[in-house]
A and B are shown apart, each in its own frame.
Chain A
Amino acid sequence: GQQVMQIPQYQHVQEGEDFTTYCNSSTTLSNIQWYKQRPGGHPVFLIQLVKSGEVKKQKRLTFQFGEAKKNSSLHITATQTTDVGTYFCAGPATGNQFYFGTGTSLTVIP
């Protein structure tokens, strides 16, 4: 079954509001990566977190990796229309497999 779940599946926000997507794995991940897929496009790498409890920022985006390395979050401050897309977490699990999360689709209303 699906190993990495994300919530919410869909999120509509007014431009300027904040947005958060949560990623939860059934197993410990050695690292967590985040990708963004624009509508009609392909996934594009955003960032990788490796250490337990790690926090990284990219301008308005803040990424966190949980202490147990089983969950992660992406927070966007003051969303813009350019933030529209689907955000995926992804990571390696035991058995030499790599799992993408189910994704959160973000719509920003101008």
Chain B
Amino acid sequence: DADVTQTPRNRITKTGKRIMLECSQTKGHDRMYWYRQDPGLGLRLIYYSFDVKDINKGEISDGYSVSRQAQAKFSLSLESAIPNQTALYFCASSEGTGGFTDTQYFGPGTRLTVL
């Protein structure tokens, strides 16, 4: 499996604060993804990147931004956190062979609480 790491693993912040979640992978995958998970809603795609120069909005990108600093690194920022952004956030990576046909390998997740 791909070695996908996320930092921090847990974060508590206050409304209005800017926060960054970081993700890195060591398998040389071209594609990286950010999802949020809420109970009963499954995982929802926030942003994805098919290579270093490619950034695409997912289903729920409002209130979030991303940066693909290198092939191995993909960070997610909340510009001004609000309580309904409290969720479990997952980063994932995949090799990249065509469309969305790849196996995605997930990191351990970051539990974010916005007070």
Contacts and interface: CB of A to CB of B under 8 A. Distances in A.
A99 B99 contact: no
Interface in A72-86: none
Tell me the interface secondary structure of chain A in the complex: strand
B74 interface: no
A66 interface: no
Contacts of A42: 90, 106-109
Interface string A57-96: 0000000000000000000000000000000101110001
Interface residues on A, range: 20 to 34
Contact of B44 (A30, A41, A92, A100): A100
Contacts of B104: 33, 43, 45
A97 B59 contact: yes
B43 A92 contact: no
B45 A43 contact: no
What band does the interface of chain B fall in when counting residues whose beta carbon is under 8 Å from A?
Answer: 20 to 34
A88 B42 contact: yes
A20 interface: no
28 contacts: A2-B41, A2-B42, A4-B42, A9-B40, A30-B99, A30-B100, A31-B100, A42-B109, A43-B92, A43-B104, A44-B1, A45-B104, A88-B43, A91-B100, A92-B100, A96-B100, A97-B45, A97-B59, A98-B33, A98-B48, A98-B58, A100-B35, A100-B43, A101-B42, A102-B40, A102-B42, A103-B40, A103-B42
Given A42-B107, A98-B45, 14 more contacts: A42-B90, A42-B109, A43-B90, A44-B106, A45-B104, A88-B42, A92-B101, A97-B45, A99-B45, A99-B59, A100-B45, A101-B42, A102-B40, A102-B42
Closest 6 A/B residue pairs (Cβ): A92-B100, A42-B106, A100-B43, A100-B42, A45-B103, A102-B42
Interface of B: 1, 33, 35, 40-45, 48, 56, 58-59, 90, 92, 99-101, 103-109
